[in-house]
Structure formats: structure tokens, C-alpha cells
Amino acid sequence: MNTVLRDKVFMRLLSPDGHELPVLSHLTYDPRDPYAVTVGFTHGGFVYAEWRLDRDMLRDGMAHPVGEGDVTMWPVLNGTREELRIELLNTAVFTVWAPSLWRFLRKTYEEVPAGRERVEDLDAFLEELLAAG
């Protein structure tokens, strides 16, 4: 089918001093890059950063800690609210409501089931990826 999936979720950026900043995040899943979910962090209509995160890590991180190095994720229970914490570059920590993220991920797995990921034209995909920076 190759349908590009998009959704918006609110995340919270946690500052070291305990403050929280709501951040509108744009999730994108392109079956041509079946292993990744792109998260665009926006505020005030501006995209401040985009990260390509491993789709399976996002799924697994809602159940147990995953990752090392630049990206780590782990589940958190905030009162009765199930959240996923995502730490980027050991400095920025975001939280997202797990059910809203899972709703998006479920659609990605319906589009491209786990184990069926394929990059059809690897050379063209790499050329496009490198051109995008």
C-alpha cells in the first residue's frame, strides 16, 4: 500500500529544574523507511528538531527500558497515566502518553507488519535520505 502515516501528539519536555514544556510533536511513518518513525518537535509553528526513532524501540520502550547511547526509552507510571520517557543525547527528556503513541504505532504495524519490513530500492532510499540531511 505504501501509505505515509501522520499524526500529532503532545509531548512534554522535562527540564532539569522540574519544569515541563508542552511540545506538539508530529509523527510520520513512511513504509519506504519501514524501521523508523520520524518525530518532529515543534513549538509556535516552528520545527526545532526531527529525530528518526526505531519503531520497535518505541514499542518495546513502553514495556521495559531500551536503548543506549544517544537514545534511551523507558515506561513510567505518572499517577495512573502510562507514559513513555524518551531521552535524547543524554540531555533532553520527553514524555508522551503511551496510549496515544501506541495508537499510532498500531497503524504502522498494520501497514507494515513486524518481520515484513523491506527497503525495496536501497540505493534510491539512501540517496533520498542523504539529500535530506
Instruction: For residue 58, give Cα distances in angstroms to 39, 97, 100, 132.
Output: 11, 12, 12, 23
> Residue-wise pLDDT tens for the chain (133 aa)?
579 999 999 999 998 888 888 888 999 999 988 999 999 987 777 777 899 999 999 999 999 999 999 999 999 998 999 999 999 998 889 999 999 999 999 999 999 888 767 767 666 666 776 777 6
The total number of structural domains that make up the chain:
1
CATH number at residue 31: 2.30.31.20
Record the pTM.
0.82
User: Which domain covers residue 26, as residue numbers?
Assistant: 5-132
